[in-house]
Amino acid sequence: MYSETVMDHFNNPRNQREISDADGIGEVGNQKCGDIMRIFLKIKDNIIEDASFQTFGCGAAVASSSMATEMIKGKTLEDAWEISNKAVAEALEGLPPQKLHCSVLAEEAIHAAINNYLEKMGLQPWEEGPGSCTGCGGCATE
């Protein structure tokens, strides 16, 4: 049911750890739905120097978190913000339809972590664009 890339990221998750002195932390999802994703960022000069995650959830949720952290490392905050759930799913060589919300969760977690950093810096958090999936969350239809 999962692509080889999903299984690889599930079995060998990248960046799966806590960054204790993270500059930005974003947590999304809820336990009721069965997915919680927490992303940690280490930021220097507007560049994401390091990223990591903790995830409670299914194989797709773990793989999405792993892939998302790989994708944002080394990017500027602006570029990281632009990474869409679709890009995460595509990088994983696709997700089953009922699991697409896991990639949405990854996008939301990145946004939450960036905004957490901006708020800590005393800056205005960025707003979700019109095309964003925020609020969909997969479980919102419940």
Q: Which residues bind other proteins (CB under 8 A)?
A: 7, 10-11, 13, 16-17, 27, 30-38, 54-59, 61-62, 98-99, 138-139, 142
Q: Select which of 33, 58, 136, 139 is catalytic.
A: 33
d(CA 19, CA 32): 26
Nearer to other proteins, 118 or 139 (CB): 139
Given the complex with other proteins, which of 78 and 93 has the nearer CB atom? Answer: 93
The radius of gyration of the chain's CA atoms, rounded to the nearest angstrom, is 14
**Do the beta carbons of residue 113 and residue 41 sit within 8 Å?**
yes
Active site annotation includes 33: yes
Q: Would you say 38 or 111 has its CB closer to other proteins?
A: 38
Question: Cα–Cα distance between 108 and 132 in angstroms, integer?
Answer: 9
Tokens 């990088």 locate to: 91
**Cα–Cα dist 97/101, whole Å:** 8
Q: CB of 127: closest distance to other proteins in angstroms?
A: 25
Cβ of residue 43: shortest distance to other proteins, in angstroms? 20
Dist CA 80 CA 67 (whole Å) = 13
CB of 89 vs other proteins, minimal distance in Å? 16
Show which residues are catalytic.
Answer: 33, 102
